[in-house]
């Protein structure tokens, strides 16, 4: 087959892809099962299944391969997640493999300049530097910082090497920046992480409430499923509850705007109204719920070494009701700006026993200095009315990354976690030591640094060596300047494994070229507890290798051959089967490797050959053992916990000097920091650079028209960027919004590194800035 | 030598006929949506004359209600880039 033929075939696939993407935007839920037959008819392209590389939805895709090159993508009609549909990023995803500046050779900094070296030399240097650093500064001076885009084997071997072999808990991942509050929300309310429901809730619900969640752009395939359900069933409504007007608001039946941080007060007011109107599902509450309170005035984590530990106390329903007395709709209207009638309307939707309600959220609730609390409060609403763990009744925390759940939450690539349980628990350490074949004394019972504190430790010099894989913290860390300066300090050694040059490779001492997505075998885990296997479909370029294999190579150089014995042709299957031992129980059993290979994703708990759609519900969940309809077996009292959590203000609010809220986020065309999607010409050309959304009236007062440059100034830094007025999103007066995908405009120079004291997840949605016409 | 893609809307009840008709044409490949009455059409013609003739033919198909272009590519415009990739 000639290159010319390949190219033409590639362009035809792109043409079909473009038409399908356009059709998908016009007709939500549209599918094209015959596409496979059509493109296969010329005999040039073979199609292989994989999960999409980008967001946490976990769409199944079919990757079209011609020779050694991936040339097309289409939705996998056999995958229940997306039923043949993809979003614009998914349809163009294979093009992200072939950017002109792809990293294909290892590089090492020599005399201040990066020079290409054989990958074996780079791996030797990494191992030597780790040994030297540990010898000089102790085991807790080396760290690995990974990602919700790590495959499950990537994260697993990282944890095994650092926690099990080296003996440091310096393992963190960027999911701390996006999902940590969801995790602590689940753990505090249910005792176990991850959603009880699944995407089939979408076809069963009558009411959707999106809590600070622009699903139209961030989870477009699920959003289109929701719109399709609304069109088909006629009795479905969508309420968008947000701080700015977005594409989701425009498609909603009702858009309700609230002042930043006041979702806490509104959620409590909804509960107040549910109780006042006696919409409580008493049968459910009496059998399955208990009431609790924790500490208040819990701080914001702005200082180094900040420490906080919550303390749960039991309370009665009457005490909880008393706590809610402060949250009448009228009082909360004054705090939140949400009209009392809208609060009552929301409460009536949740309270109506005839309606099935699904709440969706993602970064709006998680990137929040009270992220754990607001997760708790939305669970409170669902628990009071018993709308949980049944088809269509679902409080549903969506994930942002393809394996934030699979790799970070399930494998446990966070400082306090192990693949099963936490380092503080002796039983969990014993289990890990046995499976990993290391002495139990190797595993330190004390967590070290969560992500923000890990980068503070790097700045202070407590950490001297950091290996960063599949993530771009020199764009994404809040209060970025401090952490970039920290990484650049003398006697810091930074290794970066990535596929393209980024601001993070700019601070590296060693760059390892990584295999990307289907250039390696692996697994992701999506938002609905679905594990998705993909085989190596095309070869990686040059000397690029999987992140898993990079870690194995270094582990062997450090003397841990016994713990990392696998061959290159078998290692993913062997790692999976070893990892699966951690979850061998009806509460979390994972599917065997051979089952994963055959299917377009398998949901856990996978018990006796069956997936679990709704957890805690006796009809669906084999772990339910109390003889009741529901069993919240994650908590010792076998109940779900309702928490009294008050409204507390943001870490930094607008004042006379800095009079605007700054909110940051994403756009549909670009994935996170844009290091991949900006290399896809169609996506790059669609949104070539970032911008600041300003309310039209604020823009008029500032004397700024669309496209003019605006200076955004905070107490941390400043940035000049073009204004977007009446674009796809419109903030209310007194707020600006900036997408963070563009490394030309590092908005995190301006943001604040305040975090939720329980989850340690930073708040990227709220800090104070002022504007000037540039 | 353009490659173009379109969303084609059939006249009511004529989706299957239009699909068959399009797939019988030289330089055309069409496939249907499963759950909406539209087709995707991809055309790949060798030269300007053939392209013009095909365009004319498409315009006069009686089972076609609408035809909207979604993608256009012309080799002549990308000659330099193509030569680079073949080098």
Of A64-78, A127-141, A235-249, A428-442, which gets the smallest average pLDDT?
A: A64-78
Question: Is A261 domain-assigned?
Answer: yes
> What's the CATH number where A216 sits?
3.40.228.10
Domain end marker among A43, A70, A98:
A98
A490 and A378 housed in the same domain:
no
How far is A51 from A525, CA to CA, in rounded Å? 9
Structure confidence at residue A35 (pLDDT): 67
Tell me how far apart the alpha carbons of residues A434 and A13 are, in angstroms, rounded to a whole number.
50
If you ran DSSP here, which 8-state letter would residue A526 be given?
Answer: -
Q: Which residues of chain A from 705 to 764 reach within 8 Å of chain B, CB to CB?
A: none
Q: What is the CATH number of the domain that holds A469?
A: 3.40.50.740
Q: Is residue A19 a part of any domain in this protein?
A: yes
Look at the block and give the residue holding tokens 């926690």: A163
Cis peptide before A605 (omega within 30 of 0): yes
Instruction: Evaluate the CA torsion angle A26, A31, A35, A36 in order and state its sign.
Output: positive
Are A590 and A580 in contact, with CB atoms under 8 Å apart?
yes
Of A447, A505, A434, A533, the closest CA to residue A143 belongs to: A447
Per residue in A275-308, pLDDT (tens digit) is 999 999 999 999 999 999 999 999 999 999 999 9
* The two three-digit tokens of residue A614, written as one number: 């709704």
The answer on A386 and A240 residing in a single domain is yes
∠ CA(A180), CA(A186), CA(A187), 5° rounding?
Answer: 90
**How far off is chain A from B5, nearest CA to CA, in Å?**
5
Three-point CA angle A90, A17, A73, nearest 5°: 50
How many Cα neighbours within 13 Å face the side chain of A507? 25
Let me know whether A440 and A560 are in one domain. Answer: yes
* Domain stops at, among A42, A73, A98: A98
Reported as a single tens digit per residue, the pLDDT across A112-122 is 999 999 999 99
CATH number assigned to the domain comprising residue A77: 2.20.25.90
- Looking at the structure, tell me whether residues A79 and A168 fall in a common domain: no
Q: What percent of chain A has pLDDT over 90?
A: 92
The residue behind tokens 């935007």 is A25
Residue A137's SS3 state is helix
Instruction: Identify whether residues A141 and A28 lie together within a single domain.
Output: no
| 63-82 in chain B: CB under 8 A from chain A | 70-71, 73, 82
| Domain contains A766 | no
CA distance A176 to A148: 9
Active site residues of A: 89, 178-179, 363, 400-401
Q: Is A512 a member of any domain?
A: yes
Report the alpha-carbon distance of residue A496 to residue A515 in Å, rounded. 13
ipTM, two decimals: 0.91
Asked whether the beta carbons of A241 and A251 are under 8 A apart, the reply is no
Pick A18's closest partner by Cβ from B30, B36, B71.
B71
Asked, for residue A628, whether it belongs to a domain, the answer is no
* A chain contacts of residue B4, beta-carbon cutoff 8 Å: 15
CA-nearest residue to A32 within chain B is B33
Residue A15 has its nearest CB partner, among B3, B32, B86, at B3
Residues A159, A304 share a domain: no
**Residue A395, SS3 per DSSP:** strand
| 3-state secondary structure at position A639 | coil
Extract the tokens encoding A186. 């689940």
Could you tell me the residue range of the domain that residue A272 belongs to?
Answer: 201-393
Judgement on whether residues A219 and A328 belong to the same structural domain of the protein: yes
Task: Look at residue A751 in the predicted model and tell me its pLDDT.
Answer: 98
In this prediction the pTM is: 0.88
- Give the pLDDT score at A19: 86
Checking if the pLDDT of A44 tops 80, the result is no
Q: Identify the sign of the CA torsion A405, A410, A415, A416.
A: positive
Q: What is the pLDDT of residue A9?
A: 74
Which residue has tokens 């940590």? A180
Judge residue A728's burial from the number of C-beta atoms within 10 Å of its C-beta, 0-12 exposed, 13-18 middle, 19 or more buried: middle
Q: Does residue A385 share a domain with residue A419?
A: no
| Residue among A162, A163, A14, A161 nearest A88 (CA) | A14
| Residues A319 and A450 grouped into a single domain | no
Domain presence at residue A115: yes
Domain assignment of residue A436, yes or no: yes
Q: CATH number of the domain that A715 lies in?
A: 2.40.40.20
Per-residue model confidence (pLDDT) at position B76 = 60
Contact A162, A436 (CB under 8 A): no
The number of residues in chain A equals 774
Confidence of residue B75 (pLDDT cuts 50, 70, 90): low
Q: Considering the domain boundaries, does residue A614 fall inside one?
A: no
Mean of the per-residue pLDDT values for chain A?
A: 95
Question: Which residue from A404, A405, A456, A465 is spatially nearest to A162, judged by alpha carbons?
Answer: A465
Encode pLDDT of A552-588 as tens digits: 999 999 999 999 999 999 999 999 999 999 999 999 9
Contacts of B82 in chain A (CB under 8 A): 4, 7
> What count of other Cβ atoms lies within 10 Å of the Cβ of residue A215?
28
What are the residues whose beta carbons fall under 8 Å from the beta carbon of A494, sequence distance 6 or more? A465, A466, A468, A487, A507, A508, A509, A510
Q: Look at chain A and report how many structural domains it folds into.
A: 4
What are the chain B neighbours of A9 within 8 Å (beta carbons)? Answer: none
A422 and A568 fall within a common domain: yes
Based on the fold, state whether residues A61 and A137 are members of the same structural domain. no
* A353 and A259 fall within a common domain: yes
CB within 8 Å of A764: residues ≥ 6 apart: A177, A363, A367, A478, A664, A665, A740, A748, A751
Interface of A with B in 20-39 (CB under 8 A): 20-23, 26-27, 29-35, 37-38
Give the domains, in start order, of chain B with CATH numbers: 2-86 (3.30.70.920)
Tens of pLDDT, residue by residue over A141-175, are: 999 999 999 999 999 999 999 999 999 999 999 99
Q: Which pLDDT score is estimated for A554?
A: 98
Instruction: Kindly report the length of chain B.
Output: 87
Strands (E) in A611-748, as ranges, are 640-644, 660-665, 692-694, 709-713, 718-725, 735-739
Give the separation between CA A204 and CA A200, rounded to whole angstroms.
7
């Amino acid at each position: 087959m000639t290159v010319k033929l390949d190219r033409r075939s590639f362009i035809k696939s792109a043409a079909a892809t473009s038409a399908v993407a356009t059709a998908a935007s016009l007709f939500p839920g549209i599918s094209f099962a015959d596409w496979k037959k059509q493109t296969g008819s010329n005999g040039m392209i073979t199609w292989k299944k994989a999960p999409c590389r980008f967001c946490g939805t976990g769409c199944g895709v079919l990757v079209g391969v011609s020779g050694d090159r991936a040339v097309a993508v289409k939705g996998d009609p056999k995958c229940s997640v997306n039923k043949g549909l993809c979003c614009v990023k998914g349809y163009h995803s294979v093009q992200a493999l072939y950017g002109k500046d792809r990293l294909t050779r290892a590089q090492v900094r020599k005399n201040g300049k990066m020079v290409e070296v054989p990958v074996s030399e780079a791996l030797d240097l990494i191992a030597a530097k780790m040994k030297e650093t540990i010898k000089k500064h102790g085991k807790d001076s080396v760290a690995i910082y990974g990602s919700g885009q790590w495959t499950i084997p990537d994260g697993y071997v990282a944890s095994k090497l650092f926690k099990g072999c080296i003996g440091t808990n310096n393992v963190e991942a960027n999911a701390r920046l996006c999902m940590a509050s969801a995790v602590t929300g689940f753990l505090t309310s249910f005792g176990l992480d991850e959603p009880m429901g699944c995407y089939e809730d979408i076809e069963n619900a009558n009411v959707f409430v999106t809590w600070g969640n622009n699903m139209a752009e961030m989870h477009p395939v699920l959003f289109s499923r929701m719109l399709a359900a609304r069109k088909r069933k006629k009795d479905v409504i969508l309420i968008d509850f947000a701080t700015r007007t977005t594409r989701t608001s425009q498609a909603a039946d009702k858009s309700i705007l609230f002042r930043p941080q006041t979702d806490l007060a509104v959620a409590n007011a909804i509960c107040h109204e549910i109780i006042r109107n006696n919409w409580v599902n008493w049968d459910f509450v009496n059998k399955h719920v208990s009431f609790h309170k924790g500490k208040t005035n819990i701080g914001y984590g702005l200082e180094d070494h900040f420490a906080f530990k919550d303390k749960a106390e039991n309370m009665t329903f009457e005490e909880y009701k008393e706590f809610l007395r402060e949250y009448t709709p009228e009082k909360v209207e004054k705090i939140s700006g949400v009209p009392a009638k809208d609060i009552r309307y929301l409460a009536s939707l949740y309270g109506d026993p005839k309606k099935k309600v699904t709440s969706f959220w993602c970064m709006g609730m998680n990137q929040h200095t009270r992220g754990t609390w607001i997760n708790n409060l939305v669970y409170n609403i669902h628990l009071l009315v018993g709308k949980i763990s049944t088809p269509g009744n679902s409080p549903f925390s969506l994930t942002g990354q393809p394996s934030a759940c699979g790799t970070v939450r399930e494998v446990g690539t966070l400082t306090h976690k192990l693949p099963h349980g936490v380092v503080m628990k002796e039983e969990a350490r014993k289990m890990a030591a046995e499976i990993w074949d290391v002495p139990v004394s190797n595993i330190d019972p004390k967590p070290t640094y969560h992500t923000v504190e890990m980068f503070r430790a790097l700045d202070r010099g407590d950490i001297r060596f950091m290996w960063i894989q599949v993530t771009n913290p020199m764009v994404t860390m809040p209060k970025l300047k401090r952490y970039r300066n920290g990484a650049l300090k003398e006697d810091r050694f930074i290794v970066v494994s990535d596929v393209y040059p980024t601001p993070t490779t700019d601070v590296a001492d060693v760059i390892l070229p990584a295999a990307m997505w289907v250039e390696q075998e692996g697994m992701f885990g999506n938002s609905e507890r679905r594990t998705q296997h993909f085989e190596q479909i095309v070869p990686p370029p040059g000397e690029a290798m999987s992140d898993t294999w990079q870690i194995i190579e270094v582990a062997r150089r450090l003397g841990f051959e016994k713990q990392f014995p696998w061959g290159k042709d078998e290692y993913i299957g062997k790692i999976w089967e070893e990892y699966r031992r951690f979850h061998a129980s009806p509460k979390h059993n994972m599917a065997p490797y051979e089952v994963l290979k055959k299917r377009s994703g398998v949901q856990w708990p996978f018990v006796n050959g069956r997936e679990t759609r709704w957890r805690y519900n006796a009809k669906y969940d084999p772990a339910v053992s109390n003889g009741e309809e529901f069993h919240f077996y994650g908590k010792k009292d076998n109940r779900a916990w309702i928490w009294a959590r008050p409204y507390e203000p943001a870490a930094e609010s607008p004042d006379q000097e800095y009079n605007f809220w700054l909110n940051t986020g994403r756009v549909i065309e670009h994935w996170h920091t844009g290091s991949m999607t900006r290399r896809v010409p169609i996506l790059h050309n669609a949104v070539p650079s970032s911008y600041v959304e300003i309310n039209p009236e604020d823009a008029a007062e500032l004397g700024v028209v669309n496209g003019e440059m605006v200076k955004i100034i905070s107490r941390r830094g400043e940035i000049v960027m073009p204004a977007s007025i009446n674009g796809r999103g419109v903030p209310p007066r007194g707020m600006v919004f900036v997408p963070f995908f563009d490394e030309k405009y590092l908005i995190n120079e301006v943001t604040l590194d305040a975090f939720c004291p329980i989850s340690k997840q930073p708040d990227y949605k709220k800090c104070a800035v002022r504007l000037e016409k540039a | 030598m353009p490659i173009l893609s379109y969303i084609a809307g059939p006249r009511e009840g004529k989706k299957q006929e239009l699909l068959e008709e399009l797939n019988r044409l030289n330089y055309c490949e069409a496939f249907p949506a499963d759950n909406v009455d539209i087709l995707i059409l991809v055309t790949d013609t060798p030269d300007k004359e053939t392209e013009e003739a095909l365009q004319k033919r498409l315009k006069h198909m009686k089972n076609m209600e609408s035809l909207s272009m979604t993608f256009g590519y012309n080799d002549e415009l990308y000659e330099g880039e193509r030569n680079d990739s073949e080098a």
